[in-house]
Structure formats: structure tokens, C-alpha cells
Chain A
Amino acid sequence: MADVKVAEKSGITFGKKERKLLTDPLSDNNPITVQVLGICSALAVTTGMKNAAVMAVAVVFVAVLSNFFTSLLRNSIPKQVRMIVQLVIIATLVTIVELTLKAVDFESYKQLSVFIGLIITNCIIMGRLEAFALANKPYESILDGIGNGVGYGIILLIVAFFREFFGKGEIFGFKIIGPTNEFLLDTTTSTWMGWYASNNLMVLFPSAMFVIGILIWVHRAWKPHLVDIS
């Protein structure tokens, strides 16, 4: 895990280091494909792209704000109870997300049900607090939160794309392929690639494991320096 201590600088600037904080988690230090964290929720909420998108937004929100608050309080949090304090911060933010989602988009709330609450136990968020926010200033912590949240969200959306497309023949709930006449754009057509029968395995959890595994493989084939030599 990247335990970086960014050099203390005065003021808010956006230089090379700050850019690295944002872009590193997108690929070279991606929480899912490189650090292999947060797999549990990546399995559970990637049956459809809409769920994955809502989850990604929720995680970015929680990651950014929990990083910010922890960093703000980093000098006053008693070391003996720092994990508990971090947990309280995360749990509060997650509850805020849950209450807001229930008021704004009740159907997504119903579908995601327990998985919003399970952001509390998402290892990525607690990991960033421990590894980064406790040792860095609020501004850098916010950037780190955005980077890691988005890095997680991208993988979630990629996995959800493959699962929804091959599992249901849909993207964001809109029919793309399959034998039906419920297409969004062209309702006169009764079949688009009508020979393709949706593969129900893709909707089940094991397929997320396959897709993530293949992603990790592709990622490391593309960037060989990520391969563990040990």
C-alpha cells in the first residue's frame, strides 16, 4: 500500500505531486485491480450499470469527506481510539448517503439495500484513512479521496458493463441486444442479434469474480511493472 507522505507545502497548489495523487489510483495503484481491496462490494453491486454508478458516486462522496475530516482532526484524534473515531466518521457519512438516497431515488435505494450500509466496511475507505489522511493535510487528502473513489468507480462500471450487457442484453436498463421488442430507440424492430440468449451466469456473483480476474490479468499484461516478482 502506498504510504506516501507528501512534502509539507504552504498554500493550495496543483503541481506534479497533486496530479499524481489524483491519477495514481486510477491505474498504477488502483484499489481493486492492484491493491485488490473492496472486492466484496464489487461483486455485489455490479449486476447493472445504474447500481454501479450510484455506488461509485456514494463511495467517492464518503472517501473524499472521510479523508477530509480525518485529516482535519489528525492532530487531535487520540491515538488509542483512532480506529473507532475513523469508523464513526465513515459510518456517519454512509448514513447521510443512505438517508439522502432514500429521499432522492427510492428505487435505487431499494435495489442497493444493504450494500450502501456496507460501504462502512469497505476496506478502501478505512485503508486510505489509515495510510494517507492521518499523515497528510486536508487538501492532499481530498485529492487522494477523489482519486481512490474514482479508481474504484471506474472498475465497478467496467465490470457492470460486461455483466449487464452479456447477462441481460442491456446497458443502464435499456435493451441493446436480444430477441424482444422492447428496444429504447427502435421499437419497430423485434430483434437485435436475436440469436443471443442472455447468459444468466453473468448476473450471478461468480461471473464478477471472472470479470475482475480477467481485468487484473489485462491490466498487468498492459503494465508489466505491476506484476509481483515475489
Chain B
Amino acid sequence: MHSTRSVITFVLIMTLLVALALAGMYSGLKPIHKKNEALYSKKATLSAISAHLPTQPSAMAEDEVISLFNNKIEQKVLNMKGQEVDASVVESAGYPGGKAENIDMAKEVKKPLDEQLLPLYVYNKDNGEKLYILYVRGKGLWDEIWGCVALEGDLNTIAGVAFDHKAETPGLGAEIKDNKSWYSQFTGKKIYDGDTFKSVYVRKGGAKDDVYEVDGISGATITADGVTEMLERGLEYYEPYLKSVKS
């Protein structure tokens, strides 16, 4: 048997060594982690407009993604009144860099409603048309879900969507991200009826309307309802801006 003293010494020395090694490794790899995270979220943004890109975002190299962002995409940040805000406002909200890509939506949705910032990307197509990419965030069955919704230049027709989730069940709720034939249903749907905002409804049992509804996912009713709620609330945040662009 070891004495209590030697047990404590052993554990202390061991913990110290392990903590030092891990802390060193963590801070050493942090720049790479940050770079990977930024690239991942850029690719997620692009996958909402993948139908309009020459290559699939998942197959793109890093410099390809970055040059797309630098040359073809304008980044804007809006406040809840639909006005564009300066980089300084974004920086003072706690996002160094001051661009739309620096905004952490998970933090934004926890703020009071009128203080939230909305990122917006405008993709300039070669033929002069524009695509608008909006961000939405809501709740699925287990945890948060979020997504990018791309609108055509008429600010009404959906050009593509890309959803993601934190912890939905694979094969059920996770289908919102994985099942291409499900989420491509959104392409071509409309969010306005004339001037009235309608959003897109995920209908359990099958869409009853060609323009404003898509089919639900069997076994994932709550996640699908979460998508409906997220789109309706999230897209409405952008309404003041969309109106000001249209007029």
C-alpha cells in the first residue's frame, strides 16, 4: 500500500503534466481549428446556392471558396429595422472583423430581439443577377437547427436552401441536412403572396399547395415543425430590408 502522501503527490504531478501537455496542444492547434471552422461555415453558406455554382461547395478547395467570397459575394449586416450597419457596430457587438461572416448566430438569437444583427450575403452572378442569402435559426427536436435560405433577385422565389443541426436523430430529423431530395423541394417555392409575407410550410402528410408548402419527413414531425417555425420567424426578420430593396 502507498501512503496517502505519495498518492496525492503522484496524482498532482500526473495531473499537472497532462494539463500542460493538453493546454499546449490546444493553443498550438487553435489557429488551424479556427481556419477550419470558418471554411466549414463558408461552405455551408455556399451550399444554399450550389445550383448556381460551377462546382459543388463540398468539393471546393479552400482558396476557391475564399476567392468566391472575395470576388463574387458582398457581405452586409442588417439591424432589425432592415438598415445596413457599419463594421464598427458589428465590432462593438463583439465580433472582431466586422463582417457578416464574423457573426455568431448562436449568440445573436440569445440577445433581446431589437438588438440582434442579421448577416446577409449577396451573390453577384456573371449575368448581373443577384442572389440573396439569408440566415435563419430555430429549434429542432433535441437542440438547435439553422440554415441558409437563398432568394432569387425577385426576393420572393427560393433559389436553394441548406440546413444544419446540432443533434437531430440520424435517419429522421437529420434528414433536413442529409436528404437532398427533401431539401431540394424548397427550390422554386415562394415566400410572398403579392405583398403579404407567407413563408414556406412543411406539411405533415404531404404538401397541399404547390407554391407555399413542401412535404414533411416521416418520423421527424417535430424537427419539420421546427423548420416551419424557423423559416416563418427568421425570414420575417429580414422583411423590412426586403421591402426597402424592392421599392
Contacts and interface: CB of A to CB of B under 8 A. Distances in A.
Given A78-B6, A88-B15, A106 B37 contact: yes
B245 interface: no
Given A88-B18, A96-B22, A110-B40, A79 B1 contact: yes
B2 A204 contact: no
A135 interface: no
How many residues of A sit at the interface, in one of the four size bands?
Answer: 20 to 34
Contacts of A106: 36-37, 39-40
Contact of B2 (A79, A100, A200): A79
B61 interface: no
Given A78-B7, A85-B11, A102 B22 contact: no
Interface residues of B, number: 25
A180 to B, nearest CB: 9
Contacts of A229: none
Contacts of A84: 11
A111 to B, nearest CB: 9
A103 interface: yes
B25 interface: yes
Contacts of A158: none
A80 B170 contact: no
Nearest to A113: B167
A181 B122 CA distance: 31
A81 B9 CA distance: 12
Of A76, A95, A106, A204, which is in contact with the most chain B CB atoms at under 10 Å from its CB?
A106
Interface of B: 1-2, 6-7, 10-11, 14-15, 18, 21-22, 25-26, 29, 32-33, 36-37, 39-40, 167, 169-172
Pairs A-B, 4 closest by C-beta atoms: A203-B171, A106-B36, A78-B2, A103-B32
